[in-house]
Amino acid sequence: MNNIRKKKRSCLCYVCLCLVLLGGGGLGATVLFYNTQPSIVLIGQTKPEATITVVNKGITFKTVADEKGCFEKELFNIDADHPNIVTLYAEKNGIQGKKKVLTLSFPIDVETLTVSGIILDIPKSVAEITTPSCNNSGDLNDDGEINFKDLSTFLFYWGTSRCEADLNRNHRVDFGDLSILLNRWGAVVKDADK
């Protein structure tokens, strides 16, 4: 794409040079042509050497992050008069990160829109994910007894995946966990049970 753009620029420069040398067709005016093709430059960070996929108007572009995880991609198939919806995501070792969707509009009289600070996260592989060690006893405040204080803490974590309150380990704090907590109600918890 850069070679094509360079050829266009050199052809346009040649036309401009000819018009200047010929005096603008004998009228004494000089006509200048510009390469007015607008572009968007995306600059961001992801995992080192990850592949970044960018989709704009159904056209897919790919680039690779450097050894520090930095990437830059310039897009030319854009519309300066309407918002551009650009989707991008990073992928490494067969694991794809969450897609980011950017809606980009051009300010007046801007040929190149630069968007920096894009962070593309890639989740850890299954082999790298470790389950944190949590108190699975139901004694959420570590006072040695399952009581109203634990219920209060449990309700605070309701609907989350907080491991201390996720007593059945299904990655959400819900009625199953409440059932386990109420079943253990009043129990005295020893350090070995935690």
- For residue 129, pLDDT over 50 is answered with no
pLDDT tens digits along 64-97: 999 888 899 988 877 778 888 899 999 988 888 8
Tell me phi and psi for residue 139, to 5 degrees.
-85, 80
Q: Where are the domains of the chain?
A: 38-123, 148-193
Point out which residues pair with 130 in neighbouring strands: none
Per-residue pLDDT, 63: 93
pLDDT digits (tens, 9 = 90+) for 173-190: 899 889 899 999 988 887
pLDDT of residue 51: 93
Report helix, strand or coil for 41: strand
Superfamily of domain 38-123: Immunoglobulins (2.60.40.10)
Q: How confident is the model at residue 62 (pLDDT cuts 50, 70, 90)?
A: very high
Instruction: Answer whether 0.85 is exceeded by the pTM.
Output: no
23 Cβ contact list (under 8 Å, min separation 6): 30
pLDDT at 36: 58
- DSSP states of 61-115 as a string? EEEE--TTSEEEEEE-S--SSS-EEEEEEEEETTEEPPPEEEEE-PPTT-SEEEE
What is the per-residue pLDDT across 39-52, written as a single tens digit (0 to 9) for each? 888 888 888 899 99
What's the burial of 95, exposed, middle or buried (CB within 10 Å: 0-12/13-18/19+)? middle
